[in-house]
Amino acid sequence: MKIQERTGAGAGRSAAPAQPSVGDRLPTPPRERKPALAALAVLLILVGALGATMLVLQAGDRIEVVKVTKEIPAGGSVTDDSVTSVMVAKDESIHYVKWEFLDDLKELKALHTIPAGVVPVGEMFSEETGVAEGKATVGLSLKAGQYPTGLKAGDTVAAYRVGTTGGSSDSNSNDQDSSGSAAGGNDTLIVDQATVTSVPGAGGEDIVASSNLAVTLTVDADKAALLAQAASNNEVALVLVPGSN
């Protein structure tokens, strides 16, 4: 009897639905595809690749050129310590001076004053060593007190005739007065604007006070003779014009 009951109970359990095994998984719904996001991702990749390509191309079009670091006066030449090299975008319409031609550039003269910080072009230089038409250069030998402190090439100055106060007799005084009148008078303006072409010493530093300073000026041609005459008599004083570099 007990055996039959157990058998009947076991049969009842086997009739219950079987549980899924551990390895079996329930089916999942298919993933929803988003073609818009996929297209956006592809577009971003293409844009990034294009940007990288443009950067490479731009880098390839850059050239090494000359840049002025110290002012170059009119008529002056480039030196190793007055320039440096910089990279700029290549442009056939701009005649940059390539760094590889620096030695050739040193042989040329600046047509006008070139300030520091400028990237010069070929049109700023010339092979001509002479002065411009209507201009002349005059050399002066000046003592201390006849020129301003710190005078340097490229400065603009005014030149004055300064008289001497010698003469112990009336006759000597009369002679000096007549010579002064013939030359244009004492303490008179000879040249209102003259360009300092050269001054000895780096940057125009003053030399020993007991020796003369050799200064070369570029002036209008019609003023050159009067300035040279005054200079030969040691009767020239220079005054720095306001606003001069």
pLDDT in tens, 226-243: 999 998 888 999 999 876
What does residue 123 show for φ and ψ, rounded to 5 degrees? Answer: -70, -10
The sign of the CA dihedral 19, 21, 22, 26 is: negative
Please state, as a whole number, how many other Cβ atoms lie within 10 Å of the Cβ of residue 96: 20
Question: Which residues 6+ apart lie within 8 Å of 1 measured at CB?
Answer: none
Greater pLDDT, 178 or 91: 91
Q: Where are the domains of the chain?
A: 60-126, 135-240
How far is residue 99's CA from residue 39's CA, in Å, rounded to a whole number?
47
CATH pick for 60-126 out of 3.90.1210.10, 1.10.8.10, 3.40.50.1820, 3.30.930.10 = 3.90.1210.10
What would the pLDDT profile of 1-60 be if each residue is shown by its tens digit?
Answer: 555 555 555 555 555 555 555 555 666 666 666 777 777 777 888 888 777 767 665 555
The tens digit of pLDDT for each residue in 170-207 reads 434 444 443 443 344 456 899 999 988 877 754 444 44
Pairing of strands 188-198, 213-220: antiparallel
Give the containing element (helix H, strand E) for 65: strand 62-68
Say if residue 99's pLDDT is above 60. yes
Structural contact between residues 200 and 213, judged by C-beta atoms closer than 8 angstroms: yes
The H-or-E segment that residue 119 falls in is none
Contact in structure between 77 and 83 (CB atoms under 8 Å): no
pLDDT at 158 over 90: yes
Sign of the C-alpha dihedral computed for residues 62, 64, 68 and 69 taken in this order: positive
> Tokens 């040193």 identify what position?
106
Which stretch of DSSP H or E encloses residue 229?
Answer: helix 221-232
- Cβ–Cβ < 8 Å for 241, 157: yes
DSSP class of residue 67 equals E
3-state DSSP call for residue 226? helix
The yes-or-no verdict on residue 83 having pLDDT over 80 is: yes
Contact 140, 210 (CB under 8 A): no
Residue 93 pLDDT exceeds 90: no
